[in-house]
Amino acid sequence: MSGNGASSSSLNMISGEDVVNNNLSALVVDDSPLLRLLHDIHLKKYGLKVQVAENGKVAVDLFHLGASFDLVLMDKEMPVMNGVEATKELRAMGVTSMIVGVTSKNGPGEQQAFMEAGLDYCFEKPLTPEIISFLLEELNKHNNKN
């Protein structure tokens, strides 16, 4: 796992049921219908409003149309526009959402390149309840500051 300030100890601090977010929105970007469904249900369980996109271009187009999301779960390998390209483009547009990379490939070089595109965090699939709780806690902290 890589991230700004993320540590393994902080992943243990919350149980999923403690973090229910009625005001947060998320965009799940993944070319796999299975992963889109999984993450969709998982995030809805925590009270988030969720939209899905099947590749990076659809995600970027949503932002171009004026959509905004607190959290973006970005798969790395996708057709049309992959996660690295999409993340770069979103950051170039000035998008400040928390963008979290999700990857199957676990080579350090792979995650590093993805992080450098502008991610806040990068995790290996599958996202566990502990990781999702951690991300939502970080999102709440970030939103409380603003």
**Single residue of 7, 12, 15, 45 touching other proteins by CB under 8 A:** 45
Question: Please, which residues have CB within 8 angstroms of residue 114's CB and are 6 or more apart in sequence?
Answer: 76, 83, 84, 87, 101, 103, 122
Q: Smaller CB distance to other proteins: residue 80 or 126? A: 126
Q: Report how far residue 28's alpha carbon sits from residue 41's, in angstroms, rounded to the nearest whole number.
A: 11
Q: Report how far residue 45's alpha carbon sits from residue 40's, in angstroms, rounded to the nearest whole number.
A: 9
28 is an interface residue for other proteins by CB under 8 A = no
37 is an interface residue for other proteins by CB under 8 A = yes
95 is an interface residue for other proteins by CB under 8 A = no
The least CB distance from residue 122 to other proteins, in Å, is 14
Q: Report how far residue 37's alpha carbon sits from residue 43's, in angstroms, rounded to the nearest whole number.
A: 10
- Site of interaction with other proteins (CB under 8 A): 32-35, 37-38, 41-42, 44-45, 77, 104-105, 125-126, 128-129
